[in-house]
Amino acid sequence: MADSPRFTEFVSRVAADPLARLVVISSGGTTVALERRTVRFLENFSTGNRGAGMAESFIMMNEEPSSSKYYVVYFHRKGGSCAMPFVRHLPDATEQLELMSTGDQGLQFDSYIQARSSSDVLSRYLLCVEFSSVTDYLSSLEKIAKIVNPLGPRAALILAAAVSDFYVPLDQMPENKIQSGAHQEDGLTLHLTGVPKVLGRVKGTWCPQALVVSFKLETEPDILFEKASGAIEKYGVDAVVANVLESRYRKLWIVRGAKSVDTYRDYTTRLITKPESEDIEGVLVKALQELHTHHIQRASQ
């Protein structure tokens, strides 16, 4: 839970170390319940791979001697539909025997996950917090932002979760399961209401000194930069990671409200492309770490 003693203690460890930083990464899709005693629901598309990859990269960055130590809160969709840091690299059951070797101590995994992420490192630098429904996500995000707020600019919120734009308010929800027989002839008509937009509150009220980065995924490339820059104008976030559905694992852009050579109107657009040797999330995290460093430096001036 976002307000659990374990979460508070995790943030306190960062506060006690003036050189440490904390990054909250939201990941996965939210659900929209159609009944109070939920049987049916709508779900936003998201594998969670981007968020999980970023969490891994921030933690692996701690191995570099000159790097600031990042504590990672992985704020993720509950259940098996969302990728988890490091665990996502484990094989399916049908492939496990290929990665097992027999030694003096029995069967062991020959996986880089054991070599690069020991349990003590993960328990120190990684904390996982779950959400399920869109209302659960929004209420937990508020709690998280307010708890990390005392860290000031040392906190970063990277909001990569696919949050539903529409939902059924609780007072409009039926108590029990919607019966298919009652709608067999005429079909079922759903009336969805716009989800309250809280992104502006994250930067404006809940956690104003933190670096706040949102994500924008579009299916139409022509409107990508317009939508990304619009999020900066409307919600006051520090940057937007913009990507197109079909090419999201190959290239993306970091859009910021600062002029440079590569601009869209008055916004900087930095292209990030996938190298041959690693996932694109590793390159993205390096760019976000640079952005966070500049954010901290500006705050101290």
Q: In sequence order, what E strands does 81-221 have?
A: 100-103, 106-109, 126-131, 155-159, 166-167, 193-194, 211-218
Single out the residue of 124, 187, 201, 160 nearest to residue 30, CA to CA.
Answer: 160
Return d(Cα 28, Cα 78) in angstroms, integer.
Answer: 9
Boundaries of every domain in the chain: 5-89+112-177+189-300
pLDDT value at residue 98:
47
pLDDT value at residue 136:
93
**pLDDT tens column, 24-82:** 999 999 988 888 888 888 888 789 999 999 999 999 888 887 778 999 999 999 987 89
24 burial class (0-12, 13-18, 19+ CB within 10 angstroms)? buried
| Neighbour count for residue 291 (Cβ, 10 Å) | 18
Return d(Cα 151, Cα 239) in angstroms, integer.
Answer: 19
Return d(Cα 257, Cα 34) in angstroms, integer.
Answer: 39
Model confidence at 113: pLDDT above 80: no
**pLDDT tens column, 230-287:** 999 999 999 999 999 999 999 999 999 765 445 555 678 899 999 998 899 999 999 9
Find out whether 7 and 126 touch, Cβ atoms under 8 Å: no
DSSP secondary structure letter of residue 204:
I
According to CATH, the superfamily of the domain at 5-89+112-177+189-300 is CoaB-like (3.40.50.10300)
Find out whether 151 and 14 touch, Cβ atoms under 8 Å: yes
Return d(Cα 213, Cα 89) in angstroms, integer.
Answer: 26
Beta bridge partners of 195: none
Single out the residue of 85, 75, 45 nearest to residue 217, CA to CA.
Answer: 45
